[in-house]
Each structure stands twice: as C-alpha cells, then as structure tokens.
Structure 1
Amino acid sequence: MASDDCRKDDLLEDCRTDSGIDSYRSILKSEEPREPSADFSGPRDKFATGEERLDSAYGSASITVESLTEIVGDCTLSSAKEEQAHISELSEQEENLLTTITEDGDTILHLAIIHEEELIAQQLIQLFPKEVLDIQNNLYQSPLHLATYLNLTDVVKGLVEKGVSLELQDQDGNTALHVACQHGQTECATEMTREISPSKLAPVLETQNWRGLACLHLAALNRQHQIIGILTNKGADLNIQEGTSGKTALHLAVELHDITSVKLLLNRGANADAAMFNGCTPLHLAVGRQDAAIANLLCQSGADTMLRNMEDETALDLADGNDDILALFPFDDIQISGRSVVGMKF
C-alpha cells in the first residue's frame, strides 16, 4: 500500500498556479523571495503578464519546498529498479494527484522546476512516464523548456536521458535547444546534443521559430561562440537561411561585426558567397558596413568580389570611397562583361 501522505483530496481542488516561467516572478507567502540563479531578464520579461500573482498551491496553501515534498511524499522511488513495480502499486487517487494539471497547464514537475527544486524534479522524472514529461503548459513550455531557461543542467540531463522530445516548440516557436542558444546555456545545449543521434537531432537543428530563426541563427545573433561550435560539430547546416530575409549565420555575424563568429563559421566551412533573398552576400554586408577587417577575412576565404545583388551592385560598388575597403579590390580583379581589365586593349 502506498503511503496515506499521498492521499490528499484537498490538494486536488481549486488548482491555480502561475504558468511556466511567470511564476518565477511571484511572491511566495511562506518564504522570502529568491533571486534567480542566473540572468533571468530574457525569459522573465518575455512572458511578463503585467500582473503579480501569488504562487498558490493545490488548494489554498502556498507552494513551498515543504508542500512540494509533501505532495511527492512516498510516491517517489527509492531506486530505478523499483520503478515499474512502484508505479503499478500507486492508487488511482495518487496517480491523479501526481498527474494533476493546473488551470495554467502546469504539472507538479513544471512546478518543481520553476521553484528550482532539483531533487524533487529528478524524483518525478524517474517516476513519470515519457508522455507526462512532455506535457506542455499553456505557454507551450515543456519541463525541458523550463529547466533550460533556469539553466538546471542536471534536470535537463535527466529529461534527455528519459527520452523526452527535443522538437516541442513553445508559444514563440522555440525548442528547448533554441532557448539554450538564445540565452547562452552552454551546458544545457551540450546535454541536449551529447548522446543524440544525427538523424534525431537534424529536425531540431532545422526547426525555425516563428521569427524564422534556427538554433544556429540564435547562437550567432547572441554571440554564443561555444554553442556555435557545438551545433556545427553536431552537423548543423552552416548555410541554413532564416525565413524572413534569407540570411545565414555568417550574414548575421557580419552584421554584428563579430569577427570571432565569422572566423569560426568560415573555418567550419560556411559558404562565403551565400546570397540572401535580395542577392546580398556576406561581403556585400561587410563592405556596406565599412568593416574592412571582416571584408578582408571574407576575401581571404575566397569570397567572389564580383557577385551582384538584386540592385545590380557588386561589393565594390558599396565601398563608398573607403580606402581600406578599396585596397581589397586590386585592379586585376576588376572585370568588364566577365573579362579581366588587365591585358585588355582600349
């Protein structure tokens, strides 16, 4: 028989908790507010509702470490070996308690992660089947999304080892790996890619959020050099185009004047002549931004100086009298009608 501690009818009534990452902003009634363990301005602001809500538990009591522990109680496992046997012994009431979903779509696992109770979260990961671990709340955040936002690497590892889906997208179209790339959660990104087969990881790397950005684009936009290395080592398409203007990660790095990312991407084999939807290459962008250092790097990597965009402009046309830029275009490279100027008779 499972413990009577798990049988709490009152905990099943009036479920009302903060959904997802918003609950991190709430004020706990019975404990002092805690500061986030990492820079949390991104996701917190992103999901701000403009309202401060109390973190109410199952029923009228506030959720605290103690109440979470009490809810889990003896329903957690003493060892992995006992998992199947223990689950079969759970009463229907206990199963309902552990799988109850609040009005905001959160399971008890979501709540444990939100409150950074890693031990409880790990116990629940072992207890729950994969289908429960993949439940998304009203913001379409899975437990993996939340653990990544909060940089709970061990929880991310536990979820990945249990086989949760990496392809689930939140309300902005981001997978958990997108979140890691955007917020620089390098260890979480490592755990999400370490033991994953290329065939299983490829769809995640190709997924674009609702802004048309793949994981590599977000890593480049946020200057996450280590994560760029992780993604390229795992077979990310270096030349994948974002959905709005057709920029590759190399275009984005050039726009940011991020020479470190430019070098990294070129060294990994990024196409220096990749064209946006308007025909602009990374060299067009570098010259247009008067960035002689990056323009030089692109030329050294074999960028074609004579490619024309949809405005029929070459990179040289955009130099605008910049001597440092013009020095990159020796006269013997200038062509007329496809023929080199050098040696031509006028």
Structure 2
Amino acid sequence: MVMLKASKNSRNIGDGRFDEEDLVASCMLICAEEGNLRALHKLSALHKLNPNAIRRSPTSEPPGTTPMHCAAKYGHAEVFNYLHMKGGNICARDENGDTPLHVACRFAQHTVAGYVANEKVDVDSINMKGETALHCAVESADTRVVRLLLSLRPRLDLPNASGDTVLHLAADSINPRIVPLLVCLSPPLHLRNIVSRLSFFG
C-alpha cells in the first residue's frame, strides 16, 4: 500500500515506470520525476533508499537514469538536494554518458544546474556524443544556463562528435544573444566541424 501511495500517479502503476523486481527504486525514480519530496520522505522513513538506483525498465528515459537525472530533467531542485544529501552521486552517468549537469542544461533547468555548479564538478566532462554541459546549454538556447556555465570558465574549443564547438551550435541557435556571450570570451574561430564549416559563420 505504501508503494502505491508513494507516487502522485500511482493510478498509472501499469504505465511502464514500475519495475516489479524493485518497487522502492521505481517509486523513488517516479517521485524524483514528479518532484514529490513528501513521498520521498515517507518512503525514506519506511525503506532504506538508494539514491543511485538506476532505471532498468524501458521508458522514455535512457537506461542507467538515476533519481538525480530525473530531478535534474524536471527542475526539481529540492528533490535534487534531498537525494544528494542522501548520498546521490552528482556525477552519475546514464548509458548516454550524461551526468545530471548535462541533463539540467539540456532541459534549461537553471536552478538545478546552479546547484550542481556549486559542487565543483568537472564542467568539461563529455558524454558519449562528445558533448559538454555547455554544448547542451547552448542547444537549449537558455541564456541563463549558458551564463551560469560560462562563469565556471569552461573550455570553448571542445568539439562534439560532429565536430561542433559551442560556437558552431550558437551560430545555429534560435537565441541570438548566445553568440555575443561566447565571443566575449575569445573562443577559437578557426575550428571546422565535420561539414567543414568554420565555427563563426563560416
């Protein structure tokens, strides 16, 4: 009964998010997605929580997704903090190589990205596609997240798997304010991507 009440959407127990072999982990992942801190507290009072539990059942999230990734994606900063205080790995990687910082930046979750940034993580850490958190932030077109990451002095010359630096991505961005933010930091303008395009309007 407690497992059913742990999630606001317990009526959707057949929605594929519950792993019958590990209901506690399933509830924790769903609570993190929903930002349901109260349910996490209740679950913690009754069961030993593993904030680094990974999602194994097929869902829209990549395999290896932890509650930290879920909270980061949906911008639930209080849940993210709670899980971190419970021992959640702030640098955990899913099967795509994404850390919670990659996820927060990709989904323009400024508050969670700021929390992670204060933890002195490697801002230049790359995922399986060669993307840093700044690549993800520029692609999200969110100026606040880009500014936040730039304050950490990341490398601007790192290419992703397509050879795109953050300046390549900024040149294609729907947000025209991102290019000036990057240019102020003197990024390399001579780098070419796979299609042999220069990083600055080349």
Report % sequence identity. 23
* Residue 22 of structure 2, aligned match among 125, 136, 140: 136
Does residue 1:311 correspond to 2:168, yes or no? no
SS at match of 1:190: helix
The answer to whether the 8 A contact 1:157-1:192 is kept is no
Deviation at 1:290, TM superposition (A): 6.8
Instruction: Return the letter of the residue paired with 1:180.
Output: A
Does residue 1:151 correspond to 2:38, yes or no? no
Given the superposition, is the C-alpha separation of residues 286 and 164 from structure 1 closer, same or farther in structure 2, using an over 3 Å criterion?
A: same
Deviation at 1:155, TM superposition (A): 4.5
* Residue 238 of structure 1, aligned match among 123, 131, 154: 123
Deviates more, 1:163-172 or 1:218-227: 163-172
Does residue 1:270 correspond to 2:154, yes or no? yes
Given the superposition, is the C-alpha separation of residues 174 and 21 from structure 1 closer, same or farther in structure 2, using an over 3 Å criterion?
A: farther
Deviation at 1:163, TM superposition (A): 6.3
Given the superposition, is the C-alpha separation of residues 290 and 222 from structure 1 closer, same or farther in structure 2, using an over 3 Å criterion?
A: closer
SS at match of 2:22: coil
Hey, what does 1:48 align to over in structure 2?
A: 15
Mapping 1:81-230, distance limit 5 Å: 105=20, 136-137=22-23, 141-157=25-41, 159=44, 164-170=49-55, 171=57, 172=61, 173-194=64-85, 196=87, 204-230=89-115
Higher helix residue share: 1
Deviation at 1:308, TM superposition (A): 2.3
The answer to whether the 8 A contact 1:273-1:281 is kept is yes
Q: Distance in 2 between matches of 1:296 and 1:253?
A: 15
Deviation at 1:21, TM superposition (A): 6.0
Instruction: Return the letter of the residue paired with 1:24.
Output: S
Hey, what does 1:52 align to over in structure 2?
A: none
Q: Distance in 2 between matches of 1:269 and 1:194?
A: 27
**Structure with bigger RCO (C-alpha 8 Å, 6+ apart):** 2
Q: Distance in 1 between matches of 2:86 and 2:104?
A: 20
Q: Distance in 1 between matches of 2:37 and 2:138?
A: 31
Rg (Cα) greater in structure: 1
Does residue 1:259 correspond to 2:143, yes or no? yes
* Residue 293 of structure 1, aligned match among 164, 177, 198: 177
Deviations 1:304-340 (A, max 9, x none): 1122223333223x35xxxxxxxxxxxxxxxxxxxxx
Deviation at 1:215, TM superposition (A): 0.9
Deviations 1:71-113 (A, max 9, x none): xxxxxxxxxxxxxxxxxxxxxxxxxxxxxxxxx73xxxxxxxx
Aligned length: 190
**What is the RMSD computed on CA atoms of the aligned residues?**
3.2
Given the superposition, is the C-alpha separation of residues 313 and 151 from structure 1 closer, same or farther in structure 2, using an over 3 Å criterion?
A: closer
Deviation at 1:278, TM superposition (A): 2.4
Instruction: Return the letter of the residue paired with 1:48.
Output: D
The answer to whether the 8 A contact 2:107-2:140 is kept is no
Q: Which runs of 5+ in 2 are unaligned?
A: none
Deviation at 1:282, TM superposition (A): 0.4
**TM-score normalized with structure 1 length:** 0.47
The answer to whether the 8 A contact 2:130-2:159 is kept is yes
Deviations 1:132-169 (A, max 9, x none): xxx723xx834432332343324535739x86322210
SS at match of 2:161: coil
Given the superposition, is the C-alpha separation of residues 285 and 21 from structure 1 closer, same or farther in structure 2, using an over 3 Å criterion?
A: same
* Residue 284 of structure 1, aligned match among 162, 168, 174: 168
SS at match of 2:116: helix
Hey, what does 1:25 align to over in structure 2?
A: 11
Deviation at 1:267, TM superposition (A): 0.5
Q: Distance in 2 between matches of 1:157 and 1:24?
A: 17
